[in-house]
Amino acid sequence: MGVVGVSVPVRHAQEKMTGALPYMVNMELPGMLHAKLLRSPYPSARLLRVDASKAERLPGVIAVLTREDLLSWKDCDPYYGPMVRDQAIVAIDRVRYEGEPVAAVAAETAQIAEEAVDLIEVEYEELPYVLDVLDAYREDAPRVHDRIDLHPTGPEDIKSVHWGAGPNVCSYSRVRRGDVDAGFAQADLILEGEYRTPVQQHCHLEPHASMARVRDDGSIEVWSSAQSPSVVRDGLAGIFNLPLAKVRVVVPYLGAGYGSKTYLKTEPVTCALARKARGRPVKLVLTRDEVFHTVTRHATVVRMKTGFRKDGSLTAREATAFYDAGAAADVGPRTSKNGGYSMGGPYRLDNVKFDTYNVYTNKVPSGAFRGFGVAQVAWAYEQEMDRAAAALGLDPLEIRRRNIARDGDRFSTGQVFEGVAFEECLEAVAKGIGWDRPKPEPKGSRRYGRGLAVIAKTSITPSYAGGTVKMDEDGSIEVLASSVEMGQGAETVLSQIAAEVLALPMDRVKYVHPDTDVTPYDQGTQSSRTTFSAGSAIAWAAQDVRRQLLDLGAEQLEARVDDLELVDGHVVLRGVPDRRLSYEQLMRNKYNMRVGTLIGHGVFKSQGGLDRDTGQGTATAFWMQGAVAAEVEVDVETGHVKVLRLVGAANAGKAIHPLMVETQLEGAMGQALALTMFEEMVFEGGQLANPNFLDYRLPTLVEAPAMATVIIEKPHPTHPLGAIGCGESVIPPTAPAIANAIVDACGARVTSQPITPEKVLAAIRARNDAGQPEGEAASR
């Protein structure tokens, strides 16, 4: 049989299509109350007075939460954050961004809760604010936070991060490798460039939602649209000073996350309200406006200086990246660290000096976003490659071929690349787009061009995932993991892995969704780590059950374990198909009754970590490898760009479910296209001007280009099935591939996202005015 590598029916796809699948936003419990939040209208202000007395008197209001509650609860620590304790459940002394929660209400209906929110009186004293990341990194900038209050048990991988190194600097990290001065001395061409990306949002269809109930013994039950259930449980236990056994986090299907639902988001305020709601469940569902005010993708400014020899080979790179943290760290110290050390890309580059600053501003906090800091730096380094190619008279594909890292070469952190297929990805997309074939001829004001990009992305390391497989008395199994099904296919893939190891058909496998009372610890459904980490844990858990079945079989079939195999739900004596017992029979024979449970457990734990001063060390347990080629049409009279085709390739190691890999790649390119061409959160006077889908413009299917995908399968050396994650692999290369294609079409290079028609037209004008083909500043 074998179900791995087969595009079996996606679990619950039909229920999704009919709308029958229950999501967090649909969940209701008897006696449930509805929560609404009061949010700050100011980007920076001191709270002089918060008076909720009128709200409390409104009929139907059950609980109002203000800073007074948080200060009076001696057993509650109101500050939280996965790395820095810089967020409060509701604001205590001041607010640091427009939209920061100041108070919360739970009432019989959402309408009453909303009315009550309007009755809460708050007096603010406005304070100076700073919005731009470079402005914030100035000595005279207003300070967003007075100090960095580190989480005492923050994650392992951020031990290499420096804290508070400069004005408004939350975190700083660096990479030092080789000798950049010597490298630049060898260069025939030195390029300098600056690249920017704006604040952007994930735009998952389902908003953040959570529901909480506090029982008489103080224990908390939470249902949440959370990507990291185990971590949410730990965070809530910390806030409310409870043992983990008294906090239960249950996560149903998620209507997508893209990083936005990692770590604590709405859960602390829902739990705090529930604490005042006398046992009644409290449910909070954010509006779209509120989602925009919850977490964002870091805006960035990346400055890069790169040396090349005449043959196109890289000699050195010095780069500084500024990540706009917004008003809270969230996981930005990691996002910026990982983006920062990735500035060398998937290339042989021995002399690097990278400095990365994650800087507080008075905007919505930035956190995790699919592509995790790497998309912003790939936007820079992959445009640098094309600039160098133009300046040296090389083909963009050729300059990449000459530098691309292969197994045995080293990443900027010094880690040796293993099992990488960057080159195969690059060649696949070049072939797919027809790189060697002539591009379409100009037509009227339309010009056509093609571009390429290839990237390397790491996955959080070290990390942990536990997996459990439980076999029932009829030989069917439950697969227990704390990996969240959010449309990416965790449920199907983890079920396939267990089914494969235990030679079972898919209809005898059930996936048990995260429930921290039941499912084992997992660091989070993030960083494209599920197939790799939880997939390993589940494979080993299934192998544990397999061993138990073989032991039973050896005893009952009077054979050696080595001579037995699992075939189609039976333990079979190899070569003698008649000598076999079903899993059910094995258990029945053992107990002389139709009873029994077999439990297998598996643990995935990766090793790694970087040196604080040099950034050298093991950055990742596996590499995401992706390349994209784009073909565009540019109207040179308006600057309007139509992306005609995108070809994406990624190494999946082993595609457990090929169709879902393809659709992951298509989805990633579509999302990246949106970020590249359209998306930008605009702040005016400290206020977000476009927190809605009319003004925060997302593309439609009309703007979707023709897409093709190529799955590369170069197996990972340690994963039981050779599989690695690829959910992010083609996010980072899409933007620079499009930018490079626009240059190919009309010579206009746009270095800040989104690539609006206006920017393209301005770049066309600048090039015409300068009267030069590429218009790029090259020295030497």
**What does the binding site for other proteins look like in residue numbers (CB under 8 A)?**
443-446, 635, 637-638, 640, 678, 682, 689-690, 694-695, 697-700, 702-703, 756-758, 761
Burial of 147: CB neighbours in 10 Å, binned 0-12, 13-18, 19+? exposed
Residue 127 in tokens: 């304070």
- Largest Cα–Cα distance in the chain? 90
Rounded distance between C-alpha atoms, residue 485 and residue 120, angstroms = 38
Shortest gap between Cβ of 118 and other proteins (angstroms)?
Answer: 11
Rounded distance between C-alpha atoms, residue 35 and residue 104, angstroms = 7
Return the H-helix or E-strand segment holding 67: helix 67-72
Residue 428 in tokens: 């696949």
Q: Which is nearer to other proteins, 1 or 766 (CB)?
A: 766
Q: Which is nearer to other proteins, 181 or 637 (CB)?
A: 637
Q: Which is nearer to other proteins, 154 or 639 (CB)?
A: 639
Place of tokens 């005279």: 140
Shortest gap between Cβ of 764 and other proteins (angstroms)?
Answer: 12
Return the H-helix or E-strand segment holding 102: strand 101-107
Shortest gap between Cβ of 437 and other proteins (angstroms)?
Answer: 24
Rounded distance between C-alpha atoms, residue 381 and residue 479, angstroms = 42
Q: Which is nearer to other proteins, 48 or 766 (CB)?
A: 766
Shortest gap between Cβ of 633 and other proteins (angstroms)?
Answer: 10
- In 3D space, the residue among 198, 205, 202, 133 whose CA is nearest the CA of residue 169 turns out to be 133
462 upstream amide cis, omega within 30 of 0: yes
Q: Which is nearer to other proteins, 49 or 443 (CB)?
A: 443
Rounded distance between C-alpha atoms, residue 711 and residue 432, angstroms = 12
Shortest gap between Cβ of 444 and other proteins (angstroms)?
Answer: 4
Place of tokens 């077999």: 598
Q: Which is nearer to other proteins, 118 or 398 (CB)?
A: 118
Shortest gap between Cβ of 735 and other proteins (angstroms)?
Answer: 17
Rounded distance between C-alpha atoms, residue 304 and residue 767, angstroms = 22
β-strand pairing of 477-480 with 509-512: parallel
Return the ∠ at Cα 120 (arms to 119 and 121), rounded to 5°.
110
Shortest gap between Cβ of 7 and other proteins (angstroms)?
Answer: 31
Q: Which is nearer to other proteins, 690 or 718 (CB)?
A: 690
Is there a contact between 271 and 212 (Cβ–Cβ < 8 Å)?
yes
Shortest gap between Cβ of 700 and other proteins (angstroms)?
Answer: 5
Neighbours of 278 (CB within 10 A): 11
Q: Which is nearer to other proteins, 663 or 690 (CB)?
A: 690
Q: Which is nearer to other proteins, 245 or 689 (CB)?
A: 689
Shortest gap between Cβ of 640 and other proteins (angstroms)?
Answer: 8
Q: Which is nearer to other proteins, 17 or 694 (CB)?
A: 694
Shortest gap between Cβ of 220 and other proteins (angstroms)?
Answer: 39
SS3 546: helix
Shortest gap between Cβ of 758 and other proteins (angstroms)?
Answer: 4
Shortest gap between Cβ of 678 and other proteins (angstroms)?
Answer: 6
Cα dihedral 127, 131, 135, 137, rounded to 10, equals: 90
C-alpha dist (Å) from residue 10 to 5, 266, 342, 476, 503: 13, 30, 34, 19, 19
Phi, psi values for residue 375, rounded to 5°: -60, -40
Q: Which is nearer to other proteins, 543 or 756 (CB)?
A: 756
Phi, psi values for residue 67, rounded to 5°: -60, -25
Rounded distance between C-alpha atoms, residue 750 and residue 767, angstroms = 11
Please report the DSSP string for 724-740 in residue order: ---SSTTHHHHHHHHHH
Burial of 614: CB neighbours in 10 Å, binned 0-12, 13-18, 19+? middle
Q: Which is nearer to other proteins, 392 or 644 (CB)?
A: 644
